[in-house]
Amino acid sequence: MSVFSAWKHVHILVVGDVMLDRYVWGQVDRISPEAPVPVVLARDTTETLGGAGNVAANAAALGAQVTVFGVCGRDEAKGRVDQLLSERGIANSLISLQSMPTISKTRIMAGKQQCLRIDQEDTITLSSAQEAELVHRLGEAMRPQTVCIISDYGKGLVSSTLCRAIVDQARSASCPVLVDPKGRDWERYRGVDCITPNSLEFAQYADLGGADGSLLSRTGQDVCSRLGLSSLLITRGAQGMLLVGRDFDPVNIPTQAKEVFDVSGAGDTVIAALGLGLGAGMSWEQAARMANAAAGIVVGKVGTQPVWAHELERALTRQDYGTPKVVSTEKLAQEVQTWQHADQCVVFTNGCFDLLRHGHIRLLQQAASLGQRLVVGLNSDASVRRIKGPERPVLGQQDRATILAALECVDRVVIFAEDTPERLLREIQPDVLVKGGDYREDEVVGRDIVKGRGGRVEIIPIADQVSTSDLIRSILRQNGTACG
């Protein structure tokens, strides 16, 4: 079970401007004799969900339960939207109006280059009864582990009255509300939990010119206070993201994009991943780092496409949410709670791990197979000296921690200063405690802590019989021989 298994319990409600994105794919070999424009020889046409539909598609691709709310016409494009929603397992709560077309964007592509975009749309105007029906449907769908995302593309659906009604409904149901904004009228978003503008949108709203990070942070915190937001996530392109909030220090998150082909829909991916992270119990920073990793994936694709769970899982395993695997006890305790909330079994083992050898690797691999997350407690240099003598460790604690963190089977490494991990175990409360060697269970330090919460102790024999001390003596003998 991966971290994404928690997302199947999260319900994402997406309300906003749903669109149909068409792509006509072709190649250009000549310029038209009729006008100075390229002639695109069409080879294929694809259709996908756009706007709020793309937010819903991203959330569904990552494993969430998703319902989409909005307005479409009664036309052929609406039929395609319905079909695409059904194919992706997204619950459809769209209102069909005869008075407007389904919003459609047709892009003419020559390879990876967009040559032209053709839009079909009218401004959306709902009657009081239609707006009340939309709000009623939203209210009925809210339940525990629900996150509401407002995807505002400025087409007229997301009015002040609709936003106010959504915020009121969400508060009564204890559901966070996130907004991808449009335009400079952010007053209508007052009271939502988070707004996710790009840097240009934020600068326009806040009347900023070219703003550095410190000015963005100060201004962002002012905006949070003024609009009653919990946080503000500003996407900054190649500069990554800036997360600011009322109750925590600003967090700069470096970009994860390796190569950028198309930024279309990147904001949709960001807010979908952010909402899923929050719904799964992550902190604002954890969810924002996950959203940043998702954005780094999607800008490497051409056209409006979602990020899939396996893609994000692979990126997060490689990048570890943008933070090192070597963490403090406090941070680890929070992460363990998040993993356990996601029904993941957390395995813990500990040791000095001085001069990592074959037996250590086999022990760690077997320990990792007992659950979904492996945490390694590492004795500090001072505690190793107390246990092993003044000549140990051979490698310092940072070197030992870095080597352990490089192992694929290890999820986190935490350094503890005491001779035993008893205090650490009380802090993090793992599910399985692993010890290597010829111990009996009643000899394992911390067994009462783990078993007291319903966990278990596992004894795994060391695969090789050569100790680290033996290895060091052998090295010294060989060096002595060589020197002699």
Strand, helix or coil for residue 482 = helix
Strand, helix or coil for residue 154 = coil
The torsion angles phi and psi of 266, rounded to 5 degrees, stand at -65, -40
The torsion angles phi and psi of 104, rounded to 5 degrees, stand at -135, 145
Q: In whole angstroms, give the CA distance from residue 148 to residue 150.
A: 7
Name the residue among 180, 140, 129 with its Cα closest to residue 16: 180
Whose tokens are 């051409």? That residue is 302
- Is 185 marked active-site? no
From the centroid of its chain, how far is CA 168?
Answer: 27
- C-alpha atoms less than 13 angstroms from C-alpha of 12 in its C-beta half-sphere: 38
Torsion angle in degrees (nearest 10) through CA of 260, 263, 268, 273:
10
Residues 6+ apart with CB under 8 A from 367: 347, 349, 374, 409, 432, 434, 458, 460
Q: In whole angstroms, give the CA distance from residue 308 to residue 179.
A: 22
Whose tokens are 């209508």? That residue is 188
* Beta strand 251-253 pairing with 241-245: antiparallel
455, 364 contact by CB (below 8 A)? no
Helix and strand numbers, DSSP H then E, in the chain: 16, 18
Catalytic residue selected from 152, 268, 354, 431: 268
Strand, helix or coil for residue 28 = strand
Residues 6+ apart with CB under 8 A from 153: 16, 17, 19, 51, 52, 182
11, 64 contact by CB (below 8 A)? yes
Give the DSSP per-residue string, 365-383: HHHHTTSSEEEEEEE-HHH
Question: Catalytic positions, please?
Answer: 268
